[in-house]
Structure 1
Amino acid sequence: MKYSELKLGMKSSITKTITETDVILYSGVSLDTNPAHLNEEYAKTTMFKKRIAHGMLTAGLISAVLGTRLPGEGSIYMGQELKFKAPVYMGDTITAEVEIIELIDEKNQIILKTVCTNQDGKVVIDGTARIMKK
């Protein structure tokens, strides 16, 4: 989709169930081996009482929407503000949704509201992204 085709209020989303395999693979790629993600016994001692997925693994779903759906191919990710609101556990189904809230025509930039919710509709991440697009 070209910048000229974008409109305020356009939305898109992607949904994925977070698995133990996702968490283990993300730990390897990111080198984030925090035991809150990998060690069940340790996780029981935390405020979450069980292992949680990496926040940035979940936030990566936002990037997937931006790069493949809206605004889509050719998007340049310039910035992201994230607020982590609730934990994501293995087995949670997360929906990442983006919505165009501002178009900056002189710079071909797009500001999007970004939200991730779990299967119960609870917001786990919220924020905004800035994208540049031809």
Structure 2
Amino acid sequence: MSLTTSEMQIGQIARLQRIFSEADIQKYSELANDFSQMYERNEEVWKKRFSQPIVPALLVEGLIIQVISEKLPGGPCVLVQKEIIYYHPVHVGDAITAELVIIDINHERNWVTQKVVCFNQQGTEVIKGQVVIYVFPGG
């Protein structure tokens, strides 16, 4: 399903859920060349700040991009702007739901602004912000 800006409406919602695994973190680390000790099982490093290793922020952001590319608009588009705040860490095994809500549509520019909220299995908001995407005309 690929929507154009004229087919979208303010208030439209899309969401996806994902459980992050250690294998996800390993793949991310190899692709991004990010081998931070905060993501590893080395307790000496992460235990000073967290109860367990954290999932890399960019990996969680990938779930937001997945909602955009698969659901809203679900077609050719590019990220123009993002403003994201991380309220709580995401840990391996957390079930994270990314929910996007259209809050503005600029038909002249084909820009869609979406409010972003990600929350874990307890309903705790872990990420909040907004994204602006350019939707290619004609999907």
Q: How does 1:90-101 map to 2 (within 5 A)?
A: 90-101=92-103
Preserved contact between residue 43 and residue 51 of structure 1 (Cα < 8 Å): no
Aligned residue among 13, 16, 21 for 1:14? 16
Aligned residues: 134
Q: SS where residue 113 of structure 1 aligns?
A: strand
Counting aligned pairs with the same residue, the percent is: 31
1:31 is the counterpart of 2:33: yes
Going from structure 1 to structure 2, the CA distance change for 1:88 and 1:43 (only over 3 Å counts) comes to farther
The residue aligned with 2:61 is 59
Distance 1:45 1:51 in 2: 8
Aligned counterpart, 2:48: 46
More off after superposition, 34-43 vs 92-101: 34-43
1:43 touches 1:49 (CA, 8 Å); kept in 2?
no
Runs of 4+ with deviation above 3 angstroms: none
Specify every segment of 5 or more residues in structure 2 that has no aligned partner in the other structure, as ranges. none
Uncovered stretches (5+) of structure 1, i.e. residues with no partner? none
Provide the TM-score with structure 2 as the length reference.
0.92
